[in-house]
Amino acid sequence: MARQFTFRFNDEALNRKLVGLLMKHRIAYSVDGSGTIRYSAESEEVVENQLISKVRDGVFPSWQIVTCPKDWVQRYKDYMIQHGVPFREEMTDNELWFLIPRRYRPHKWVFEDSHSAAS
């Protein structure tokens, strides 16, 4: 069986934009009941480097992706909310990622229950 990748913007409007782009570019995909988009490895480069990026560009003109261990997700969300960092959530291959503007420096963030900056 060919490898498949999954992706979902947790914001439904953004996810619909991505589905529209997949249709426009005639990329083979499927969407499950939770809105998760599945696409093949042969489409990976176009989907990830062109289509998902295009949707991200519409959210923040200059952006970055922040990832963290699963047990740190709530710390990151709390930090961003408390410090006014705008973000959108994405699920990539069952991992939660955060889309944030490029001007923020997550590697310098210090969490209250941590003595070192998170990366």
What pLDDT, in 10s, does the model give residues 39-91?
999 999 999 999 999 999 999 999 999 999 999 999 999 999 999 999 999 99
Q: Total domain count for the chain?
A: 2
Structure tokens given for 4: 């498949």
Of 58, 85, 103, the position where a domain reaches its end is 58
* Beta-sheet strands, E only, within the chain: 4-9, 29-31, 37-40, 63-66, 88-92, 95-101
Question: What are the beta bridge partners of residue 40?
Answer: 4
Determine what percent of the chain is predicted with pLDDT higher than 90: 87
Clarify whether residues 73 and 88 are in a common domain: yes
pLDDT value at position 119? 44
pLDDT value at position 115? 42
Is the pLDDT assigned to residue 26 strictly greater than 70?
Answer: yes
Query: Please, which pLDDT band fits residue 111 given cuts at 50, 70 and 90?
Result: confident
Per-residue pLDDT, averaged over 20-30, amounts to 97
Clarify whether residues 47 and 69 are in a common domain: no
Is the pLDDT assigned to residue 116 strictly greater than 70?
Answer: no
Cβ contact 88:98 at 8 Å: yes
- Residue-number span of the structural domain to which 23 is assigned: 1-58
Clarify whether residues 33 and 87 are in a common domain: no
pTM: predicted TM-score of the whole model, two decimal places: 0.88
Determine what percent of the chain is predicted with pLDDT higher than 70: 92
- CATH number, domain at 49? 3.30.70
Question: What's the rounded Cα separation, in Å, for the pair 27 and 43?
Answer: 7
In the chain, what is the straight-line distance between the N-terminal and C-terminal CA atoms, in Å?
A: 35
pLDDT value at position 113? 63
Clarify whether residues 107 and 95 are in a common domain: yes
Of 12, 39, 58, the position where a domain reaches its end is 58
Q: Which among 46, 35, 41 has a CA at the least distance from the CA of 7?
A: 35
Clarify whether residues 51 and 104 are in a common domain: no
Q: Which among 118, 53, 52 has a CA at the least distance from the CA of 85?
A: 118
Clarify whether residues 54 and 67 are in a common domain: no
Of 10, 30, 58, the position where a domain reaches its end is 58
